Amino acid sequence: MSGTEELLVEPDRLAAELDRADPPALLDVRWRLTGPPGRDDYAAGHLPGAVFVDLDTELCGRPGAGGRHPLPDPAALQAALRAAGVRAGHPVVVYDGGDGMAAARAWWTLRWAGHREVRLLHGGFPAWIAAGLPASTEPPAQAPGDVEVRPGALPVLDAAEAARLAAADRGVLLDVRAAPRYRGETEPIDPVAGHVPGATNLPAPEYVGGDGHFPTADALRQRFAAAGVVDAEPVGAYCGSGVTAAQAVLALHLAGRPDAALYVGSWSNWVADPARPVATVEKPGS
């Protein structure tokens, strides 16, 4: 699956699809790294028919040595998706508060779980409202789904694989955190600052807007190429905990690289083992 038409859906088109007899399932995954919970936003207003799914507790595993947002237990994920009405072979649209990060991680998780027909509402809830489309405060009468979770449909990296890719002569491991975190100048969340040795920094704002809108596929290809992404050579991405990096993987899909791998544990997993090396960028003259 590649191309913007299959990965993103604009508000007006989604509204038309929701008027059909058998509309796509809608998952509201609004989330903030530091809170408050997205469920409060959902209660205040959401797309009609949408079901809230919690990124932290339903789409990811428990935080720990595997990182702050590790892979979910397949059985638990299947139960959560069925409760949200996700059906086997039936299209799903995910959306968040507008920056696209939580929605991208939801997209990635469903794709990893073997559910192919998943799209993002481009621009999220704010784009829906800006288009003059209605919101609801009523939870839908949701029939249970029958989706079957089959893990492994998208490539993942563990720490050892991320290290090998970063050090390899061919391919690139992208660190999509802000440049000061990559350089080791600051680390507001994790206990150690720096980056995986050999990783290339490509901060998220270089390939997606703060409103969650992506540039054209050609523009994305140019930006990734400038960061060393070469056709037919391996590419992976990581961030702090695998949420922003999932958005990078989505952008790579849009650019024609459906083989892009996600280091799910990301930096929060890397620094959980003090034996793993940490690189920083020294200031000139230091």
Residue ranges covered by each domain of the chain: 4-130, 156-270
Average pLDDT, the chain: 95
Confidence of residue 286 (pLDDT cuts 50, 70, 90): very low
Q: Are 190 and 242 in contact (CB under 8 A)?
A: no
The residues annotated as belonging to the active site are 239
% of the chain beyond a pLDDT of 70: 97
Residue closest to 7 by CA, chosen among 246, 268, 211: 246
State residue 34's pLDDT score. 81
Residue closest to 208 by CA, chosen among 196, 200, 220: 220
pLDDT in tens, 68-126: 999 999 999 999 999 999 999 999 999 999 999 999 999 999 999 999 999 999 999 99
The CATH superfamily assigned to 4-130 is Rhodanese-like domain (3.40.250.10)
Q: What is the 3-state secondary structure (H, E, C) of the chain?
A: CCCHHHHEECHHHHHHHHCCCCCCEEEECCCCCCCCCHHHHHHHCECCCCEECCCCCCCCCCCECCECCCCCCHHHHHHHHHHCCCCCCCCEEEECCCCCHHHHHHHHHHHHCCCCCEEEECCHHHHHHHCCCCCECCCCCCCCCCCCCCCCCCCEECHHHHHHHHHCCCCEEEECCCHHHHHCCCCCCCCCCCECCCCEECCHHHCCCCCCCCCCHHHHHHHHHHCCCCCCCCEEEECCCCCHHHHHHHHHHHCCCCCCEEECCHHHHHCCCCCCCCECCCCCCC
Q: Are 93 and 66 in contact (CB under 8 A)?
A: no
Q: Which two structure tokens, joined as six digits, stand for 56? A: 């932290």
Residue closest to 182 by CA, chosen among 101, 280, 272: 280
Q: Which residues contact 151 (CB under 8 A, 6 or more apart)?
A: 71, 74, 112, 113, 114
Confidence of residue 226 (pLDDT cuts 50, 70, 90): very high
Beta bridge partners of 195: 279
In this predicted structure, which of 41-45, 104-108, 141-145, 211-215 has the lowest mean pLDDT?
Answer: 141-145
Q: Which two structure tokens, joined as six digits, stand for 59? A: 């789409």
pTM of the predicted protein model: 0.95
Confidence of residue 2 (pLDDT cuts 50, 70, 90): very low
CA dihedral for 220, 195, 267, 153, sign (positive or negative):
positive
The hierarchical CATH code for the domain 156-270 is: 3.40.250.10
4-130 and 156-270 in the same fold: yes
State residue 283's pLDDT score. 53
Residue closest to 103 by CA, chosen among 52, 149, 139: 52
State residue 30's pLDDT score. 98
Q: Are 6 and 30 in contact (CB under 8 A)?
A: no
